[in-house]
């Protein structure tokens, strides 16, 4: 069985790494890794591949940045000849980025089976490009690997064939469990205590300059209670350059360069609080038991609120400040009940088992 994995952005790397590893032991499976280059920084990408122990991509399509339509078109045009030449038995796509939906649609139109890792997540907000990507990808996929029970329910409510749905757990947690001991060794020696870890990258946040100005002002105020460590995404950096930020002598808001996976995971593990707009970080903090405030009005990962440590504060700096203060003063009613089902570090093994069964079936058909 010939499997082609398509990744396009760093969150995809963390999801694909354990699946690549789990399938590598099957002699009946041949794997090809395609990096679309949707998000590509040579230095950072090399570090991620090295830390996650992913082999270098077999192909890099180099599509680069652009609007959503431009990126999807570039991925489709670059991937089409690859698909026609290689005719893989299965294309595995990950998450909800533009490369994911482009690869799923291009494969489906050629009659090539598609497997979606992290299927079924829904925010119910169609103004989010990622939500459109999720829905379209799931509609054309033949294998839907869901990370949580609510994701399967979403797919059933959309009239997806139950035979396509496989509840396997969260592959992001596979990577976290495997690399957390190593991440502890990447902690800075002069780490302040306590500290708050911040990460923001969604256009709805960072492209709104008045909102970014108010948000940075709030973070500066919070830094009077704890040091704020803020690794700045390139998109966020461009916005910060246009924002007048009052950062007085008493401020402990530290703007940092983007961090590799292990360094960031280590900081998450020991943070008093994480403030984010990232879906993956909502999941990681839930597993780690670290309080998380999500600067969004909704989330496609409601299980992190129901069973985890996550709380939505929306685009409201007062709610953010009040919740953060309560956490830092140990006045927060910790909501965590239990680790979500199958977030046990073995989701990729379940995926590999299902794919290998398909490979065995194909082998029997050929015989």
- Residue 250 to residues 10, 129, 244, 247: CA-CA distances in angstroms? 35, 39, 17, 8
Residue 238 maps to a domain: yes
Q: Give me 43's structure tokens.
A: 């230095």
- Residue 7 to residues 10, 90, 104, 114, 300: CA-CA distances in angstroms? 8, 14, 12, 14, 20
- pLDDT confidence band for 333 (50 / 70 / 90): confident
Integer Cα distance of 313 and 323 in angstroms = 8
Residue 243 maps to a domain: yes
Give 365: exposed, middle or buried? Use CB within 10 Å, 0-12, 13-18, 19+: exposed
> By mean pLDDT, which of 39-48, 59-68, 233-242 is the weakest?
39-48
User: Does 366 score more than 70 pLDDT?
Assistant: no
Residue 196 maps to a domain: yes
User: Do residue 162 and residue 266 come from a single domain?
Assistant: no
User: Do residue 166 and residue 189 come from a single domain?
Assistant: no
Integer Cα distance of 45 and 36 in angstroms = 12
Integer Cα distance of 293 and 311 in angstroms = 5
- pLDDT for 120 equals 98
User: Do residue 26 and residue 163 come from a single domain?
Assistant: yes
User: Does 279 score more than 70 pLDDT?
Assistant: yes
Going by C-alpha positions, the residue among 121, 101, 113 that lies closest to residue 4 is: 113
User: Does 335 score more than 70 pLDDT?
Assistant: no
User: Do residue 122 and residue 190 come from a single domain?
Assistant: no
- pLDDT for 361 equals 65
> By mean pLDDT, which of 46-50, 191-195, 220-224 is the weakest?
46-50
Domain residues for 239? Answer: 181-328
Check: CB of residue 231 under 8 Å from CB of residue 259: yes
Q: State pLDDT tens for residues 298-308.
A: 999 999 999 88
- pLDDT confidence band for 38 (50 / 70 / 90): confident
**Distance between first and last Cα of the chain:** 14
User: Do residue 149 and residue 187 come from a single domain?
Assistant: no
User: Do residue 163 and residue 187 come from a single domain?
Assistant: no
Residue 335 maps to a domain: no
User: Do residue 83 and residue 198 come from a single domain?
Assistant: no
User: Do residue 64 and residue 107 come from a single domain?
Assistant: yes
User: Do residue 310 and residue 222 come from a single domain?
Assistant: yes
Residue 175 maps to a domain: no
- Which one-letter DSSP state was computed for residue 307? S
Integer Cα distance of 123 and 150 in angstroms = 12
User: Do residue 160 and residue 238 come from a single domain?
Assistant: no
Residue 176 maps to a domain: no
- pLDDT for 106 equals 98
Q: What is the mean pLDDT of residues 3-19?
A: 95
User: Do residue 121 and residue 200 come from a single domain?
Assistant: no
Catalytic residue check, 233 = no
Residue 337 maps to a domain: no
Residue 67 maps to a domain: yes
Q: Among residues of the chain, what percentage have pLDDT more than 70?
A: 93
User: Do residue 151 and residue 194 come from a single domain?
Assistant: no
- pLDDT confidence band for 217 (50 / 70 / 90): very high
> By mean pLDDT, which of 19-33, 54-68, 342-356 is the weakest?
54-68
- pLDDT confidence band for 204 (50 / 70 / 90): confident
- pLDDT for 44 equals 66
Q: Report how many domains make up the chain.
A: 2
Name the active-site residue from 68, 186, 201, 270: 201
Q: State pLDDT tens for residues 163-193.
A: 999 999 999 999 999 999 999 999 998 899 9
Q: Kindly report the CATH number assigned to the domain that includes residue 16.
A: 3.40.50.2000
């Amino acid at each position: 069985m010939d499997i082609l994995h398509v990744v396009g952005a760093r969150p995809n790397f963390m999801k694909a790494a354990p699946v690549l590893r789990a399938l590598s032991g099957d002699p009946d499976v041949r794997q090809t890794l395609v990096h679309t280059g949707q998000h590509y920084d040579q230095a950072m990408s090399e570090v991620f591949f090295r830390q996650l122990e992913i082999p270098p991509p077999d192909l890099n399509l180099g599509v680069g940045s652009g609007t959503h339509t431009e990126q999807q078109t570039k991925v489709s045009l670059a991937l089409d000849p690859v698909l026609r030449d290689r005719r893989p038995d299965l294309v595995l796509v990950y998450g909800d980025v533009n490369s994911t939906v482009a690869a799923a649609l291009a494969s489906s139109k050629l009659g090539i089976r598609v497997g979606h890792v992290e299927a079924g997540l829904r925010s119910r907000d169609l103004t989010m490009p990622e939500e459109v990507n999720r829905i379209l990808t799931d509609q054309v996929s033949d294998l839907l690997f869901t990370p949580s029970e609510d994701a399967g329910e979403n797919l059933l409510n959309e009239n997806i064939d139950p035979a396509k749905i496989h509840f396997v757990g969260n592959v992001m947690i596979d990577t976290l469990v495997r690399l957390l001991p190593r991440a502890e060794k990447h902690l800075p020696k002069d780490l302040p205590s306590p500290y708050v870890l911040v990460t923001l990258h969604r256009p709805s946040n960072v492209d709104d300059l008045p909102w970014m100005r108010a948000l940075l002002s709030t973070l500066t105020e919070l830094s009077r209670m704890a040091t704020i460590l803020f690794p700045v995404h390139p998109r966020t950096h461009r916005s910060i350059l246009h924002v007048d930020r009052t950062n007085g002598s008493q401020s402990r808001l530290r703007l940092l360069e983007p961090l590799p996976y292990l360094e960031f995971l280590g900081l998450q593990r020991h943070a008093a609080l994480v403030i984010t707009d990232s879906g993956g970080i909502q999941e990681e903090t839930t597993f780690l038991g670290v309080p998380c405030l999500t600067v969004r009005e909704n989330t496609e990962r409601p299980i992190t609120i129901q069973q985890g440590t996550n709380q939505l504060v929306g685009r409201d700096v007062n709610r953010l400040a009040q919740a953060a203060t309560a956490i830092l003063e140990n006045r927060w009613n910790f909501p965590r009940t239990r680790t979500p089902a199958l977030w046990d570090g073995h989701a990729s093994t379940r995926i590999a088992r299902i794919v290998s069964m398909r490979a065995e079936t194909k082998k029997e058909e050929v015989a």
